Amino acid sequence: MLNNEIPQLEEAIRQLYRDQAKQPAITVVVVNKRIHQRFFVKDPSGRLVNPPSGCIIDKGLVDTHLDTKQFDFYLTPSSANQGCVLPTHFYCSRNDSELTRFDIE
């Protein structure tokens, strides 16, 4: 994708915005829903339970450097009453925009 599709997108942007002083920034986020990782948190009684909806995992299992241009994180997009919640893996492979890592997460 970074070697084939992004250069084509950049060329299209150059052609569309050639008369403009500033061109749009490109941010690429790859989303993978087919992963094997599962996450749990301890409830007050010490039992392992599913993390709450919207929980972001961006330390420990992922690269922890603070680079805002290339990073990854996991998100639990929903809750599950039965079984394990299925997290989603997000990989930001390019970020030319003013958006920070926190903004994207």
Contact criterion met (CB below 8 Å) for 41 and 31: no
Identify each DSSP E strand in 1-105 by its residue range: 27-32, 41-42, 48-49, 55-57, 71-76, 88-95
**Is the pLDDT at 65 greater than 70, yes or no?**
no
Residues in the chain: 105
Sequence ranges of the domains in the chain? 28-104
CA 8 – CA 19 distance, rounded (Å):
19
Tokens 């990073």 belong to residue: 71
Q: What's the pLDDT tens digit per position in 4-43?
A: 899 999 999 999 998 888 899 999 999 999 988 888 899 9
